[in-house]
Amino acid sequence: MTHKKKDFLAVILAGVSALLLISPLAMTGTAQARNIKVGIIDCYSGPAAVYGNDALNGFKLALEEINKQGVLGGKIEYTTRDTKFKVDIALNMAKELVMREEVDLLVGTINSAAALAVSKTIAKEQKIPFIVWISKDEKITGAEGHRYVFSTADNTAMGGTAGGVGLSKKPYKKYWIAGDDYAYGHAIADAAWRNLKALKPDVEKIGESWWKVGEPDLVPYLTSIMGAKPDAVIFCTGGASMTNTLKALKTTGMAAKIPSWIHTAIDHAVLKPLAAEGPEGVTGTIQYLFYYPETPENKAFVDSFQKAYGTPPGFPAFNAYLTAHFIAEAFKKAGKIDKEKFIDALEGLKVKNPVGGMVEMRACDHQAVYPMYFGTTKKVPQYDFVIATDITTLKGDEVLPTCDEITKSRGK
Amino acid sequence: MDAGHTITFAVIASHFLVGISRAMILFVVSSGLSFVLGVLRVPNVAHGSLYMLGAFVAHTIATYFGGGSVAFWFALIASPFVVALIGLVAERALFCHLYEREHLMLLLFTFALMLIFGDLVKIFWGADYRSLMAPDLLRGAVTIFSSPIPRYNLFLLIAGPIIAVALYLFSNNTLIGKIARAAAVDREMVGAIGINVSWVFAFAFVLGCFLAGLGGALVSPTVSVTLGMDHDIIIETFLIVTIGGLGNMWGAMVGSLIFGITQSFGVLFLPQFAIVFPYIAVVLVLMWRPRGILKSVW
Amino acid sequence: MATVDEKRKRILGYAAVVLFLLFLPILVPRFYIYILTVIFVTSILAMSLNLVAGHGGLFQFHHGVFYGIGAYTAALILAKTSLPPLVGFIAGPIAAAAAGLIIGLFCVRLSRLYFGMLQISLGSLVWAITFRWYDFTGGDDGIHGIPIPALLSSINRSYYFILTILVIVMILLYLILKSPFGGILQAIRDNPDRCAAVGINVRRHQLVAIVIATFFAGVAGVMFVVVEGTVFPDLMFWVLSLEIFIMCLLGGWFTFSGPILGAAIIVSLRTFAGVYTEYWTLILGIILILLIFFLPEGVMGFITEKMKGKEPEALRSTEKEVDQ
């Protein structure tokens, strides 16, 4: 090895270590009244990053408003960690935030396994409040719920129920169920089918198909479904797979022939990139649409979000915006920065819904309660991508399992 | 499970066609990997990243030129060249200095490249989902055997064999192709007759990148162009190359067909377990022929 | 060959490191103790892989599967049965070794890259089953909040426990490598044909090595459960297996303790670079490339070279010739 190379290496090593040593010093600001520290663990890489970023933007926007007045004489500050959609890294990062950064509470993540792992091994064990804001696993606030975990996300029970209730008003009888072969897909399918069957006992399931998550070519699945001629199809898919599903629905012409319902199909993060290729006639459910309801509150929220980040807010931004306000209001109500008091204050707390009205954090299961929208995609002149039309609103308590059901599921 | 539909000839035929069209994309990507494996003897784990890069570049080019049919065709042709250029830079700047080292160190290097490309794509393109539109000619579906087959899949059915034949002619009828093939079989010999082996390696690596980029560009109209595409394809292509015979281009074709068809029929007969079919196919093939189906250069 | 004096020096060196580690929890904040524990677990895993990969010359490309099997076995026994925890701790490595035997039986018939690819296929089958079998393995959600015996549940306790296990594993692996069996294994790596020619049963030796290595991977899996109290299918995904392989290569793959260094580097880089930037894989990639260029013998190789003051033996030169 030459001297030149060695010197170069030494400089690099010195530089890196200096950076590692200095930056914590630079980061510890000069806050007098103590700030509230929120630790965010979420996925900012891979296909899930689009949701992680949207949530973070919603959170930042809310903090800008909140920090104008401050909370308990201080501000809410946050720090983020990228989990790369991996459970072990999420645990490392969450522990780092709790032990080293000494955050007051944890917030995150899109990955259900990571959310459950953090909830049960860190939040519960070390008594740190943890608010889940994107992951839709109903177990988080359902069977596996406990004092230290909260959710502002719509879970699979809500999504599935909304779909089941919505579909029960349609005339279809013969159903096919298809989706991503993982917990999310199956949970949505179960909830939707259970509710649909309860409300409309004469429906019949003629078949199921499940593909691996991220399956690039869904055409063979769709052709075999079309061959079976169901009246309607329940698709249980999300994220990047959703785009593949919608594309395949369009190219095979299935969207025009057989009606289908997909939870979150009317999410504009999915429909916007498809532009004119987005299929019409697909029904979906979601808790937030930037164009509906057309209240002044919603318009103001969308305008300020659009101004700050260049895109309209999606459902993760909505969840995160609520999360920020829940945090601020709960600390105000608690009167001091104390984890147990914070939890007591958060139970049953109501904050303003950015579209108008209030959202409650249900005390019995720590699940945020808000309405779901059920609508069908259609081309409209105002937008160059398809949007949801013909929207029905399902009230929050219509789509959530009752407190009794939650107690029962936790009891076993 | 409760397959409430009858499996007719029409259904089987359509599954077969779609399975083969999927195999064509796998072939394009895995033939590139096979080339690099054959000549450089490097399991290039960054190959998936180059495939992802191909899709993103194709999207950017098509969007830049207005997103019409002409833009699509131009993107399809230009994107592989852009990826090949990126490959050339990485090879000449870094990779070529490592050929004398033990080749598992080269694996370490390609792993580092995979990490870097993954984040660079995120820095340049961001996290949003993207979607490329197929040209008007290839949009929608035609009905064959009474079930709809997307036109784009038919296009892939035609494009795949054309690319295979072009590759075959290229490696058999051009000097550089012949040298690369010779280097794959016996690299000492090629060095001994005074050919600069380093440039032969560079050529093989760049051709591999070109094919990865072409695969990415070809797949982009059927899927969502997104981060993480690299992880989806890399293991599949490695397995394809192995069962086909390392370094053998027609082997990549055979392997891709096995993969595409088992997957497609797995869906038809046992959808619950479709996820495991290709793996079982690989296990069976390697039990039957431990060095791949066709002659391997290793 | 090391002289007696050098040997004593080396043992003294290891003893000093262990002594230092024993007192560390008094000195540093508990987060660093936790990360060290994670490094210990990863080290056991990487060292177990290096037994077959570095010293045995096998392309063990899906070692993570055995780690996962060890972890899942322990987790299922701890979470779903009322058997004493010790049963789970012992069953984990045994289940991993049993899986190693079965998968190994298929794989040793093949050589080099084919061996690796067959292992990836078989391992992916195990992964797919774990991922799908909701009632038994918890599917892709995994199993969380596994009850860990109180004796091991605090950060300091698990630190001492896993440090002890790591030291025991290191001693055992050292003894195995220095045994006649270890000698034959390395001879097979360097020249399988010659070994076969002198009457050594190459496949049987390789199979035994795989069973030993997968047993220790199972130990690492159980330790993972002790630290994190959770299991999930990612433990068996090929990405993790590739990462372990990279740790061995990076640390120095013909050295004994190189994998520990590789594990320490990867774990601490991803933890501490992750604090400053979400682009930490980019940083990791760049640092890897720098290391490849400036420390060609791996980090451990570089350190040994510095300590000896001379070039390490060119073990590598034999490697290229043997692959056919």
Tell whether C172 is within 8 A of chain B (Cβ): no
Assigned domain for B24 exists: yes
What is the token pair recorded at C308? 């000896």
Q: Which helix (H) or strand (E) holds A394?
A: strand A387-394
Nearest Cα of chain B lies from the Cα of C282 at a distance, in angstroms, of 5
Q: How many CB atoms within 10 Å of residue C154?
A: 12
Of the listed ranges B31-40, C76-85, C132-141, the one predicted with least confidence: C132-141
**Three-state SS for A110?**
coil
Assigned domain for B2 exists: no
* Nearest CB partner across the interface for A49, out of B19, B127, B141: B127
3-state secondary structure chain C: CCCHHHHHHHHHHHHHHHHHHHHHHHHCCHHHHHHHHHHHHHHHHHHHHHHHHCCCCCCCCCCHHHHHHHHHHHHHHHHHCCCCHHHHHHHHHHHHHHHHHHHHHHHCCCCHHHHHHHHHHHHHHHHHHHHHCHHHHCHHHCEECCCCCHHHCCHHHHHHHHHHHHHHHHHHHHHHHHCHHHHHHHHHHHCHHHHHHCCCCHHHHHHHHHHHHHHHHHHHHHHHHHHHCEECHHHHCHHHHHHHHHHHHHHCCCCCCHHHHHHHHHHHHHHHHHHHCCCHHHHHHHHHHHHHHHCCCHHHHHHHHHHHCCCCCCCHHHHHHHCC
CB contact under 8 A, B104 and C320: no
Assigned domain for C46 exists: yes
Within 8 A of A205 by CB-CB distance, chain B residues are 2
Instruction: Report the CATH number that the domain containing residue B275 is assigned in CATH.
Output: 1.10.3470
Is residue C323 scored above 70 in pLDDT?
Answer: no
CB contact under 8 A, C279 and B119: yes
Share of chain C above pLDDT 90, in %: 45
What is the amino acid identity at position B71?
A
Per-residue pLDDT of chain B (298 residues; tens, 9 = 90+): 344 456 677 778 878 888 898 899 999 999 999 988 888 888 888 999 999 999 999 999 998 988 788 999 999 999 999 999 999 999 998 888 888 777 778 888 898 999 999 999 999 998 888 888 888 888 888 887 777 788 888 999 999 999 999 998 988 888 888 888 777 777 777 777 777 888 888 888 999 999 999 999 999 888 888 888 888 788 889 889 988 888 888 999 999 999 888 888 877 777 667 778 888 888 899 888 888 888 776 5
pLDDT band at C129 (very low <50, low <70, confident <90, very high): confident
Q: How many CB atoms within 10 Å of residue B109?
A: 27
Nearest Cα of chain A lies from the Cα of B150 at a distance, in angstroms, of 6
Tell whether B123 is within 8 A of chain A (Cβ): no
Q: How many CB atoms within 10 Å of residue B200?
A: 21
What is the amino acid identity at position A359?
V
Nearest Cα of chain C lies from the Cα of B103 at a distance, in angstroms, of 8
* Nearest CB partner across the interface for B116, out of C118, C286, C292: C286
Partners for C (CB, 8 Å, 3+ pairs)?
A: A, B
Q: How many CB atoms within 10 Å of residue A133?
A: 32
Residues 6+ apart with CB under 8 A from C141: A112, A113, A116, A137, A139, A183, C232
Chain A: residues touching B (Cβ < 8 Å):
44-47, 49-50, 52-53, 181, 205-212, 214, 216-217, 219-221, 223-224, 226-229, 240, 243-244, 247-248, 251-254, 269-270, 273-277
Query: Can you point out the beta strands (E) in B68-200?
Result: 141-144, 147-150
* Dist CA C95 CA C218 (whole Å): 7
Within 8 A of A244 by CB-CB distance, chain B residues are 222-224
* Dist CA B209 CA A183 (whole Å): 36
Assigned domain for B295 exists: no
Helices B249-269 and B9-40, packing angle to 10 deg? 150
Residues 6+ apart with CB under 8 A from C14: none
CB contact under 8 A, A216 and B148: no
Residues 6+ apart with CB under 8 A from C229: A120, A121, A125, C144, C145, C146, C147, C148
Nearest Cα of chain A lies from the Cα of B4 at a distance, in angstroms, of 5
Which residues sit opposite A234 in a β-bridge? A177, A261
Assigned domain for B294 exists: no
Q: CA-nearest residue of chain C to A52?
A: C278
In terms of DSSP bridges, do strands A174-180 and A232-236 run parallel, antiparallel, or are they unpaired?
parallel
CB contact under 8 A, A210 and B219: no
CA-closest candidate to residue A242, choices A214, A280, A210: A214
Assigned domain for C316 exists: no
Q: Please state whether the predicted TM-score (pTM) of the whole model is above 0.90.
A: no
CB contact under 8 A, A1 and C294: yes
CB contact under 8 A, C120 and B298: no
| B245 close to B296: Cβ distance less than 8 angstroms | yes
What is the amino acid identity at position C308?
K
pLDDT band at A258 (very low <50, low <70, confident <90, very high): very high
Residue-wise pLDDT tens digits, A45-89:
888 888 999 999 999 999 999 999 989 889 999 999 998 888 999
The number of CA neighbours under 13 Å toward the Cβ of C223 is 29
Q: What is the pLDDT of residue C309?
A: 57
* Nearest CB partner across the interface for B109, out of C124, C289, C320: C289
| Domain count within chain C | 1
What is the token pair recorded at C256? 């004994």
Which domain covers residue C135, as residue numbers? 4-237
Assigned domain for B131 exists: yes
Helices B229-244 and B9-40, packing angle to 10 deg? 80
CB contact under 8 A, C132 and A181: yes
Assigned domain for C130 exists: yes
Q: How far apart are the first and last CA of chain C?
A: 30
Assigned domain for B213 exists: yes
Q: To probe the interface with C, which of A37, A116, A181 has the most C CB atoms within 10 Å?
A: A116
Nearest Cα of chain C lies from the Cα of B220 at a distance, in angstroms, of 24
**Average pLDDT rounded to a whole number, residues C184-209:** 90
Is residue A412 scored above 70 in pLDDT?
Answer: no
CB contact under 8 A, A121 and C144: yes
**Average pLDDT rounded to a whole number, residues C177-206:** 90
Burial C39-78 (b: 16+ CB within 10 A, else e): bbbbbbbbbbbbbbbbbbbbbbbbbbbbbbbbbbbbbbbb
Within 8 A of C286 by CB-CB distance, chain A residues are none
CB contact under 8 A, B232 and A50: no
Which residues sit opposite A82 in a β-bridge? A42
Helices C258-276 and C280-294, packing angle to 10 deg? 140
**Average pLDDT rounded to a whole number, residues A144-172:** 91
**Average pLDDT rounded to a whole number, residues A183-187:** 86
| Domain count within chain B | 1
Within 8 A of B242 by CB-CB distance, chain C residues are 113-114, 117-118
Tell whether B226 is within 8 A of chain A (Cβ): yes
Q: CA-nearest residue of chain A to C306?
A: A1
Assigned domain for B44 exists: yes
Assigned domain for B103 exists: yes
What is the token pair recorded at A167? 């579909």
* Dist CA C30 CA A21 (whole Å): 18
Partners for B (CB, 8 Å, 3+ pairs)?
A: A, C
Which residues sit opposite A361 in a β-bridge? A368
Task: Map out the domains of chain A with their CATH numbers.
Answer: 32-154+292-369 (3.40.50.2300), 157-286+371-411 (3.40.50.2300)
Q: How many CB atoms within 10 Å of residue A307?
A: 9
ipTM, two decimals, is 0.85
What is the token pair recorded at C247? 């740790």
**Three-state SS for A132?**
strand
Which domain covers residue B281, as residue numbers? 9-288
Tell whether B69 is within 8 A of chain A (Cβ): no
